[in-house]
Amino acid sequence: MPLDEEIVLARREIVSDGYDMSVGELINLYRDNEIRIHPEFQRLFRWDQTRKTRFIESLLLALPLPPIFVYQGADGVWELIDGLQRLSTILEFAGVLRDQTGELRPSTTLEGTRFLPSLVDKKWEASENEDNGIGTSLQLQIKRARMRVEILKQESDPQAKYELFQRLNTGGQNLSEQEIRNCVGVMLNPNFQTWLVTLANNNAFKTVINQTETAIERQSHVELIVRFFSFRHVIYRNGLDVHEYLDDALVKLATDTEFDTDSEALVFAQTFEQLNLALGESAFKRWNGAEFTGKFLMSVFEVVSLGVSKNIEAIAALGEETSKAFIRERCIALWQNETFTRNSGAGVRGTSRLANLLPMAEAFFRP
């Protein structure tokens, strides 16, 4: 299909509208539950006090504001897709923002700025026995400030909501790809996303991936689980960006009514139990000729976890000691395999790595 026809077809899949609204109207819509911020998305509200203060300062100085994006559901309620940091900052300052549990968050206390140094310690409403409120006049000025609201209508292609969410939020606020993917997963199928997060608490899995607290905070452990099931069930198309592949795979898995979570959870548990018994924290590290050492390597995870999972029944049937020896021997032999060494080193693109390593995994770990 020619490019111009592809563009016309893609545009037809998105039905949108938009108009300017006052900040006061947006506050009221949120207070009346007519704008929703999904809890998994709300978790990503992470502006510090300085960023929050600067944005409130922008409202007071009547500076132009970027638009927010919402999705209009069948019930007419808007679901926030982009603009979390800005809208949440306004709602928190006004004292109406709820946290993931539904409890009101404390109203923001502002800092002084270069242009408005007197903002220091100011709040929306004065604290008890203090004169630190911004006052009615400035409250009204903020409420009358206007923001553009771009609305993705319900008539749009269902996939458009998730596609737009990913595009608008990826790269924003230094969010990880998986943090955005978690939000999309919840939108698609909350039970499936909960299932993934539950698997992430498997003790054997946590031991063998050996991730830092910082990496876990950025959801690296959940991404590894998404990779695990994606490799098992969604064919990788050569040349596709790795994160686009994982995004597409998550949509397929979360919406596949034939995906058997019970049997897949069992395969997952058995796979990482076998790896933990055989190698523990060394499961996905480099073999230097004498021992497994260094940091977690994604290329090793991709081949080893997929290969063991595809042969888990045969490996388990070997018996505990034999299976441990087999897995260890295969993981050592991996570092003498020309296909692996050629496609796993520094400088190898993720697209080339997946295209060349995933096909070898099952046969390489077959007893």
Q: Over the stretch 135-191, which tens digit does the pLDDT of each residue have?
A: 999 999 999 999 999 887 766 565 666 666 666 665 555 567 777 787 777 777 888
Nearest Cα neighbor of 70 from 7, 142, 147 is: 147
Long-range contacts of 184-189 (CB under 8 A, 24+ apart): 184/247, 184/250, 184/251, 185/250, 185/254, 186/38, 186/40, 187/38, 187/161, 187/162, 188/162, 188/250, 188/251, 188/254, 188/255, 189/254, 189/255
Which residues share a beta bridge with 79?
Answer: 36, 71
CA–CA separation, 283 vs 292, rounded Å?
Answer: 8
What is the DSSP-derived secondary structure letter of residue 104? B
* pLDDT at 158 (0 to 100): 57
CA–CA separation, 199 vs 229, rounded Å?
Answer: 12
One DSSP character per residue, 279-330 reads: HGGGTTSEE-SSSEESS--HHHHHHHHHHHHHTHHHHHTT-HHHHHHHHHHH
Which residues share a beta bridge with 16?
Answer: 152
Task: Classify burial at 12, counting beta carbons within 10 Å of its beta carbon; exposed 0-12, middle 13-18, buried 19 or more.
Answer: exposed
* pLDDT at 127 (0 to 100): 73
* pLDDT at 167 (0 to 100): 65
* pLDDT at 225 (0 to 100): 96
CA 172 to chain centre: 12
b vs e for 149-182, b when ≥16 Cβ sit within 10 Å of the residue's Cβ?
bbbbeeebeeebbbbbbbebbeeeeebbbbbbbb
Pairing assessment for the beta strands 68-72 and 146-152 based on DSSP bridges: parallel
CA–CA separation, 158 vs 359, rounded Å?
Answer: 32
Task: Using 70 as the pLDDT threshold, list the residues of the chain that sit under it.
Answer: 1, 4-16, 128-129, 154-175
* pLDDT at 104 (0 to 100): 92
Model confidence, pTM: 0.71
Whether 280 and 272 have beta carbons less than 8 Å apart is answered as no
| Tokens linked to 338 | 């020309």
CA–CA separation, 338 vs 78, rounded Å?
Answer: 53
Q: Which residues contact 188 (CB under 8 A, 6 or more apart)?
A: 162, 250, 251, 254, 255
Whether 276 and 324 have beta carbons less than 8 Å apart is answered as no
CA–CA separation, 186 vs 170, rounded Å?
Answer: 16
